[in-house]
Amino acid sequence: MINVVIFGAPGAGKGTQSDKIRQKYELMHLSTGDVLRGELAAKTPLGLEAQKFIDNGELVPDNVVIGMVGNKLADNNKFKGIIFDGFPRTISQAIALDDLLFKKNDSISLMISLDVKKEELINRLLLRGKDSGRADDKNEEIIEKRIDVYLRETEPIIGYYHEQNKHFNIVGEGTIEEIFARICNIIDKYKLKKEELTMTIESDAKTNFTTVVEDAKLIEETSEKEEKVEEQEEVKEEEEVEEEEAEETEGEEEEEEEEEEEEEDAPIKIEIEIGDIKVVNGSLKIEIGDFELLKNSEVEIEIGDISIDGGNVQIEVGDIEIEN
Ligand code: AMP
């Protein structure tokens, strides 16, 4: 979208140039003066209210004009932008216009100011007044008043757009075509810059996108590699654990085997609990208690001769059989 404010004092040629700009750049032409005159001709309440201001060469109140422009902005969708002619005429209107456009996600692109000397302005307006039928163009006093109002209330807007780097001043004197060429020069440069800027933004966005994609790929590849390394490490660890366990098992088995071998080789120890020893009717009776064996086996002990030798009892133990 290209939104241009064509700016200048009454008689600077805003209307004439706006029409040419509209055609060339396919813009909507929004002239608040034309809209107000239309309302006046239709005798609408708005037109009737505006009439006294227009006839006196004064500005119609901001709220009336801003409301009117707000309504017109709703119809601009089929155009490539808008050319604002005779609006804004006060700083408040300029701020309100920015707000209105902002709500449409849009903004003013350029403000082109037509610079014309006061005498030339007056001559043009008086000349126009002969054919246009506009009452405010016929009366030199009213013309002077309109130029004063312009200098006092409208011209300061230049500073508003200047601060935003949107203000361009051109000589508004010469032929219509000469002036138009100057205007086109500005608009064309703006369009070119905008295209370049858009291309830069698009290519930046593309580069950024590519970088993002490449970064994502890199991250993916890196994490895949890391996952593989982790998997390999896990497998290695598991193998080591298995090896250790196998070694341990082997060791245990060997130990068991050794123990078994040791057990097999070891002499069988028998603990016999000897209970009471009595002499009954000339016979010696020995009470034998529990046997404790290394293995859970039954033991048969053959007791041989028992004799008393010097006060000691001697028991002859024969074969010992162990049954598993
Ligand atoms: P113009 O045709 O632009 O010279 O406007 C004619 C008259 O309409 C002006 O002298 C004002 O009285 C009124 N007018 C047009 N535009 C505006 C505006 N933006 N703000 C206030 N009054 C306006």
pLDDT 10s digits, 31-68: 999 999 999 999 999 999 999 999 999 999 999 999 99
The Cβ of residue 213 has, within 10 Å, a number of other Cβ atoms equal to 10
Beta-strand ranges (E) seen in 108-160 are: 110-115
Q: Is a pLDDT exceeding 90 seen at residue 224?
A: no
H-helix or E-strand spanning residue 269: none
* Ligand 1 binding pocket includes 33 (Cβ within 6 Å): yes
- Give buried/exposed letters for 227-251 (b at 16+ CB in 10 A, else e): eeeeeeeeeeeeeeeeeeeeeeeee
Which has more pLDDT, 69 or 216? 69
Q: What digits encode the pLDDT tens for the residues 290-307? A: 666 555 556 666 777 766
pLDDT reported for residue 271: 63
Q: How far is the CA of 39 from the centre of ligand 1 (A)?
A: 12
Q: Is a pLDDT exceeding 90 seen at residue 324?
A: no
Cα 106 to Cα 203: distance, rounded to the nearest angstrom: 22
Q: How far is the CA of 49 from the centre of ligand 1 (A)?
A: 13
- β-partners of residue 291 are 272
Which has more pLDDT, 135 or 22? 22
Beta-strand ranges (E) seen in 188-297 are: 270-280, 283-293
Cα 9 to Cα 79: distance, rounded to the nearest angstrom: 27
**What residues are annotated to the active site?**
14, 89, 128, 134, 146
Q: Which residues contact 311 (CB under 8 A, 6 or more apart)?
A: none
Task: Answer for the pair 138, 150: CB distance below 8 angstroms, yes or no.
Answer: no
Pocket probe mutation, ligand 1, options 60, 145, 155, max atoms within 8 Å of Cβ? 60
Q: How far is the CA of 32 from the centre of ligand 1 (A)?
A: 6
pLDDT reported for residue 291: 60
Half-sphere exposure of 152 (CA within 13 A, CB side): 8
Residue located nearest, by CA, to atom 5 of ligand 1? 33
Closest CA to 18 of 36, 30, 1: 30
* Ligand 1 binding pocket includes 147 (Cβ within 6 Å): no
262, amino acid identity: E
Q: How far is the CA of 80 from the CAs of 4, 193, 250, 281, 292, in angstroms? A: 11, 17, 88, 144, 114
Angle at the Cα of 64 from the Cα atoms of 63 and 66, rounded to 5 degrees: 65
Q: What digits encode the pLDDT tens for the residues 187-207? A: 999 999 988 887 877 777 766
- β-partners of residue 286 are 277
Q: How far is the CA of 217 from the centre of ligand 1 (A)?
A: 61
pLDDT reported for residue 176: 97
Closest CA to 67 of 37, 99, 112, 38: 99
* Ligand 1 binding pocket includes 89 (Cβ within 6 Å): yes
**Is the pTM higher than 0.85?**
no
82, amino acid identity: I
Q: What digits encode the pLDDT tens for the residues 245-290? A: 878 877 777 777 776 666 555 555 566 666 666 666 666 666 666 6
Cα 108 to Cα 98: distance, rounded to the nearest angstrom: 7
Q: Is 26 left (phi over 0), alpha (psi -120 to 50) or beta?
A: left
Q: What digits encode the pLDDT tens for the residues 137-169? A: 889 999 999 999 999 999 999 999 999 999 999
* Ligand 1 binding pocket includes 66 (Cβ within 6 Å): no
pLDDT reported for residue 230: 79
Strands 298-309 and 312-323: antiparallel
* Phi, then psi, of 302 in degrees rounded to 5: -95, 115
* Ligand 1 binding pocket includes 13 (Cβ within 6 Å): no
By three-state DSSP, how is residue 4 classified?
A: strand
Cα 112 to Cα 171: distance, rounded to the nearest angstrom: 10
By three-state DSSP, how is residue 57 classified?
A: coil
Task: Answer for the pair 11, 124: CB distance below 8 angstroms, yes or no.
Answer: yes
